[in-house]
Structure 1
Amino acid sequence: MSLAHDERLRLVDTMSAVGPDAPTLCGEWTVRDLAAHLVVRERRPDASVGILLPPLAGYTQSVQDGVATRPFEELLADVRSGPPIWSPFRLLDPVANLGEMFVHHEDVLRGDGVAEPRELDPRLEKALWGIGGLMGRKAYRSAPVTVVWESPDFGTRSFGSASRRVVLRGPASELALHAFGRDVVALAFEGDEADVAALKALDRSF
């Protein structure tokens, strides 16, 4: 099994444990809403395009709202089983879904606004260092400072070329979460107070 598959199973177990009405880090979405999002993403290609294309977002939301009315255990069963054989995500699951499953798992675990990092498989940390680097190029593209990552396991990585810089220090998994737009992270921020505030206020959505 792949790292993405293992994280998928852990995500579903956590969703089941906290229940459908628990909060997440995805705005006003509950766990039920997040499960419906994952089902639409992998099983409704006609609607999932709205996740990336704003003009179609209304249709996607309408479909997702309908999917969310299904019994919670059915939603979890669909998420657990992964993309169906006809889904474009089927073959790409190990690559395309690792970041998705990890980030949304943390969205559920940190839904109360508290960052309590898990002890992760070193292979997962390494994979997230790579994924986070790709996401960071987009997340920090408008940053007014150079963003420097410092990981105790993987060294340093920089985004941008501004003369002023802010250093983010912590595990690869926490750095990746920040690149994915999450603020409830266990990271140390080092730099001028105004620069740190500007980075924290940056819109890191894609």
Structure 2
Amino acid sequence: MTSFAKAERARLCDLALEAGPDAPTLCGDWTVRELVAHLVLREHSPLSAGIVVPPLAGITERATTRKAERKDFEDLVERVRRPLSPMALPGVDAALNTAEFFVHHEDIRRAGPGWSPRDLTGSEQDALWRVLRVSGKGLVRPAGVPVVARRTDTGAKTALRSGGDPVVVSGLPAELVLFVYGRGEVRDVTFEGPADRVEQLRTAKLGI
């Protein structure tokens, strides 16, 4: 059975070709071409270290720009679709790429007008909930407030940052993942808790 990470990789590639290289994304000023170049660099080059090591961010940004400028767009998409990288191995792929390809797929989808959330399967929502329970702990840290995430489809909860009087942020796992990754284009996400803490969470610079 195809993993969710692998399925999202294919869907992202299909959408990138459909949208075209110059279409906008939710990744700041990046176009689809630059987003795809980022994905190639992430899987194939040590110059991608700036994604998680802030002092190297400038090097990574310049490498991404060079990759986007020098490679044919269709070739870039094909390298994402059929990577020759240990990161695409089963198990490793699910651990490292589920959020990456889901979030960036939505970065393309939700950058244009008229988008609506996809109707994901229960197993796909479960995969994203597992991502949230692990990665969400670090991603909400910049808010500096206790945070509990709650699934609106099952009622399950997970503490992303411990402490009394937490902010409870509720939604489907897909929308919660997008929220903790710093995306503003989310639907049906609600917040409960002390007003000042809710404001801190909603205005914090979340994500990587």
Which residue of 2 is the match for residue 72 of structure 1?
73
The CA distance in 2 between the partners of 1:48 and 1:195, in whole Å, is 34
- Counting matched residue pairs gives 202
Whole-Å separation in 2 of the counterparts to 1:54 and 1:161: 26
8 Å contact from structure 2 (residues 150, 170) kept in 1: yes
Give the stretch that moved more between structures: 19-28 or 139-148.
139-148
Q: TM-score, normalised by structure 2?
A: 0.88
Deviates more, 1:53-62 or 1:171-180: 53-62
1:107, distance to aligned residue in structure 2 (A): 0.7
Give the whole-Å Cα distance in 2 for the aligned partners of 1:195 and 1:52. 27
Instruction: Tell me the TM-score normalized by structure 1.
Output: 0.89
Per mean C-alpha deviation after superposition, the further-off stretch among 164-173 and 192-201 is: 192-201
When the two chains are superposed, the root-mean-square deviation of aligned CA atoms in Å is 1.9
Q: Quick one: which amino acid aligns to residue 90 of structure 1?
A: A
1:190 match? 192
Distance 1:58 1:71 in 2: 23
Q: 1:161 to 1:58 in 2, by over 3 A?
A: closer
1:1-206 correspondence to structure 2 within 5 Å: 1-44=2-45, 46-69=46-69, 70-81=71-82, 83-84=83-84, 87-91=85-89, 92-112=92-112, 116-151=116-151, 152-153=153-154, 155-186=156-187, 187-206=189-208
The amino acid across from 1:119 in the alignment is D
Q: Percent identity?
A: 41
Query: CA, structure 1 residues 192+154, in 2 after alignment: closer, same or farther (shift >3 Å)?
Result: closer
1:105 is displaced (CA, Å) by 0.4
C-alpha separation between the residues in 2 aligned to 1:79 and 1:135?
Answer: 23
Secondary structure class of the residue paired with 1:134: helix
Cα offsets for 1:141-181 (capped at 9, x unmatched): 24343222221225112233443332212111111111222
The aligned amino acid for 1:78 is R
Q: Which piece of structure 1 moves more, 6-15 or 59-68? A: 59-68
Deviations 1:20-41 (A, max 9, x none): 1111111111111100000111
- How far apart in 2 are the matches of 1:79 and 1:58? 23
- Specify the SS of the correspondent of 2:141: coil
Alpha-carbon distance in structure 1 between the residues aligned to 2:37 and 2:49: 15
Does the C-alpha gap of structure 1 residues 39 and 136 become closer, same or farther in structure 2, counting only changes over 3 Å? Answer: same
Q: Which amino acid aligns with 1:139?
A: L
